[in-house]
Structure 1
Amino acid sequence: MLNRYPIALSTLSLFLVACGSTDPSREYQSALPSEPQITPKTEVQNSATSWTGQTTGNFRALLPCDNCEQHVIHLRLNDDQTFQLSDIKRSKQRQRENQVAGTIQAAQGNNQQDKQNQHPSQNTANEWLLNTENGQAYARIQLTAHGLQFSLYNQKKTQNQQKNETQVFLHPVENMQVSNALKHVDIQAEHVQNVEVKELNDPVMAHDYFLAIHNQSDQALQLHANDLVLVDQQYQEYAAVVDPQFLEPIPTQQKQWIKVSFHYPASVQADVIKIK
């Protein structure tokens, strides 16, 4: 009878050792610091070469144009490591649109070995290549706290010529509801996300919106700033502030993008933009 106790104690000791062997690894994993956020909606994963968990959604820029009236870039980044890009140049006579689709690939400097050999000021983490469906590098993007640094490669180059880049900043955008009273005019709105809003008079802030206005009527459309009103969820109205360059008449059967700013407190929940 006495011989059973040592056996039982030995068995119990082995059982406790086996059960406790995984605790240190769990404690180590839980102590690892979390990766910083790229935008409030997404969180970067540990693997810098995998697109999984990176920033996704719609990004847009309204740009000046030397040889046209307006230049608009719209980029859609998807969870499945693909993208769709629309590059539009609008003139008074016509509109040219270049649509590109392809895959997202980690830039060369995104691997861990390169980052270890780089000075912090040269770190290329969060840089990605946009490759066309035939594998050609079309553009490069860098994720930042407020959107994307977008570098478009010059596609017209000789074999031995180094790639030139046109750099612009793309803002994340989110669809906004529109109440449109104009006939034969289609209007879509986007709220510009993650921008550093200007503090005007605490707690009033300036919030930016992009409006795509398609004039389908048989005459030119002339909008004024007082034609645009933002309504919050408490039915309070806020007047629009529009740069005069965006209030040029829109010719018949043409589409134009304008940038509008509404001034309201950060605590306000915007509901709809009304077009009178």
Structure 2
Amino acid sequence: MNKSSFFIVGQHAVMEALRNPNRKVLRVFLTEDAKKNIHRKNPNKNLLEEVKVYFKSKKELDKYSSKEQLMHNGYVAEIEHLDQPELKEFIKEKNNLTFVCLDEVTDPRNIGSLIRSAASFKIDGIIIKERHFPKDSKLMYKSASGCMEHVNIFEVSNINSTLKNLREKNFWVYGFDSKGQKDFTDVKWEGNNILLFGSEGFGMRQHTGKYADFFVKIDINEEIESLNISNSAAIVFHHLSYLKKKELII
């Protein structure tokens, strides 16, 4: 069955797609400078060897990104979606997993930035409602800066039923809320955990919050109402990564 294709723009997004052996890259549109840069940054492998390459001027490439007001930097590619693992299969015989679950988060820039942080700190996967995931978004791929190639994305039809099923499989669900019961750094973070974040504007839905075992918060200046979701997530991911490294050292 043929997969639908879509375009991405930007150096990191395009170059990481070319580096990923599991990503089908159909066509690449480059400036001459971008081509030289690809070869310079990948001296041991010709990433363009099995790809249809078209050389364009910067102005010709502008049509692929001007609508979204994005900088293409001389790189445009037409790609297909990755085959993502099934969540229920992925968790089999695995322990100490950390997933992020996004409830009603829809902004492509925030999702892309969060994916970049998740890849940077080795989060095991992101759970998101299928119809809220902007999977063809140039902005999301640009914001993720190539990290779409390094994170498991689990698209589900229903967040609540997914959380319910995971709780039955020994996952703890931590809802992040400014009115949380305690600071997230006071949690031991043992076993399998789900980090549940609500939408940018309205926070976590009340019904979804019923599936959280605990509500935790990030301790910030009381005069500031909240942090951007991608900033919040990066702080949490870094802390969990630090704890795992600390355990290995001990």
TM-score, normalised via structure 2 length = 0.23
Report which of the two structures shows the higher radius of gyration computed on alpha carbons: 1
Higher strand share: 1
TM-score, normalised via structure 1 length = 0.22
Larger RCO (CA under 8 A, 6+ residues apart): 2
